[in-house]
C-alpha cells in the first residue's frame, strides 16, 4: 500500500541494535489503526487506511528531525460490523481488535518503551481505542495517548451538515483522496445520504448525544455513503491536509513532552 511516511520515521525499518539505542523515556511510538471496508461506489476499500497514512506522514514531516518519534506497522483491520453486508468489508470483532492492541502494547512495554499513541481514522474503532488507551496505561504502565482523525482541525469551508453527519465517504475523505490519489476516486459515482439533519434536531441522535440509537449503514444508505462528496475538490483536500497534519504534529509534540506521573 502507498505510504507517505518517510523511511527514517518507520520503526520497522530499524534493526534491533538501532532500536536498542533509542532512549526509552523520550521515544514516542505511534500505532496507526484504521479499516478495510466499503466506501460507497466512488472510493476504495482502503480509504481509512490511506487517509491515516496520508495525514500521519505529513504530520511526521512537520516535526523537527531530532525527535524520536516513529510509526509502527499499522493495524488496518478494524471493527467494521456497521458495514457488514457490503462486499469487500473485512471486519474483526471488538475482542480481536483489542487483543491485538494489547499484545502490541505488551511488547512495547517489555522492550522498555514508555510512550504509545493509538492513532485511529475509523469511527467504528473509536470507542475501543479509548478503552484500550486506559487499559494499556493500567496494565503495562505505558503512557498511552488516543489520537483521532484530523485532531480537531477546523477544516474551513465544510458545511455544518457535513461536519455533523458526513460520517463516511463524504466530502472530507473524498477531498483527501482527490488531493493525494485522484485515480482512486470515481467522480461519476457520487451518491449522497445523511443519517440526520442538523437543522432538525431529534431526541435520539446517532452519536455524540445523551440519547442515541444503534445503526448499521444498510439502515441508512444503499450505496454505503453517509455524507455528500459532491462538493469535494483537490484544493479543499490539500488545504484540509495541511490543517490536519499541522494539528496532528502539534498533538504528537505534546504527547512526546507530556510529563510522567510522579513515582509512588
Residue 131 grid cell: 478503552
Q: How buried is residue 110: exposed, middle or buried, by Cβ count under 10 Å (0-12/13-18/19+)?
A: exposed
CA torsion, ordered 84, 86, 89, 94, to nearest 10 deg: -10
Identify the pLDDT of residue 207. Answer: 87
Residue 4 lies in a domain: no
Read off the pTM: 0.96
Residue 19 lies in a domain: no
Specify the number of domains making up the chain.
Answer: 1
Q: How far is CA 89 from the centre of its chain?
A: 17
Positions in the chain short of pLDDT 70:
262-264
Q: Are 59 and 248 in contact (CB under 8 A)?
A: yes
Residue pLDDT, tens place only, 95-133: 999 999 999 999 999 999 999 999 999 999 999 999 999
Structural domain boundaries, residue 140: 27-253
The Cβ of residue 211 has, within 10 Å, a number of other Cβ atoms equal to: 8
What CATH number does the domain containing 212 carry?
A: 3.40.50.10310
CA torsion, ordered 200, 206, 208, 210, to nearest 10 deg: 80
Amino acid at each position: 500500500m502507498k505510504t507517505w511516511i518517510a523511511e527514517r520515521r518507520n520503526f520497522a525499518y530499524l534493526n534491533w541494535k538501532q532500536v536498542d539505542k533509542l532512549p526509552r523515556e523520550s521515544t514516542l511510538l505511534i500505532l496507526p489503526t484504521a479499516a478495510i471496508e466499503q466506501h460507497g461506489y466512488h472510493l476504495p476499500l482502503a480509504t481509512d487506511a490511506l487517509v491515516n497514512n496520508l495525514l500521519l506522514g505529513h504530520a511526521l514531516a512537520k516535526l523537527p528531525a531530532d525527535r524520536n518519534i516513529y510509526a509502527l506497522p499499522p493495524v488496518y483491520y478494524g471493527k467494521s460490523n456497521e458495514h457488514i453486508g457490503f462486499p469487500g468489508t473485512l471486519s474483526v470483532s471488538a475482542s480481536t481488535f483489542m487483543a491485538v492492541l494489547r499484545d502490541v502494547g505488551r511488547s512495547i512495554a517489555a522492550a522498555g518503551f514508555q510512550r504509545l499513541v493509538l492513532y485511529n481514522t475509523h469511527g467504528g474503532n473509536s470507542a475501543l481505542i479509548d478503552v484500550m488507551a486506559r487499559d494499556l496505561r493500567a496494565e503495562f504502565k505505558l503512557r498511552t495517548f488516543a489520537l483521532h482523525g484530523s485532531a480537531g482541525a477546523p477544516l474551513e469551508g465544510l458545511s455544518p451538515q457535513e461536519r455533523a453527519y458526513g460520517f463516511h465517504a463524504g466530502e472530507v475523505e473524498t477531498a483527501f483522496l482527490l488531493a493525494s490519489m485522484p485515480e482512486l476516486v470515481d467522480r461519476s459515482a457520487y451518491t449522497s445520504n445523511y443519517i440526520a439533519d442538523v437543522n432538525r434536531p431529534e431526541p435520539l441522535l446517532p452519536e455524540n448525544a445523551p440519547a442515541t440509537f444503534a445503526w448499521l449503514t444498510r439502515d441508512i444508505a444503499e450505496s454505503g455513503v453517509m455524507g455528500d462528496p459532491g462538493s469535494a475538490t483537490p484544493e479543499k483536500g490539500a488545504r484540509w491536509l495541511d490543517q490536519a497534519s499541522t494539528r496532528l504534529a502539534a498533538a504528537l509534540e505534546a504527547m512526546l513532552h507530556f510529563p510522567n506521573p510522579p513515582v509512588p
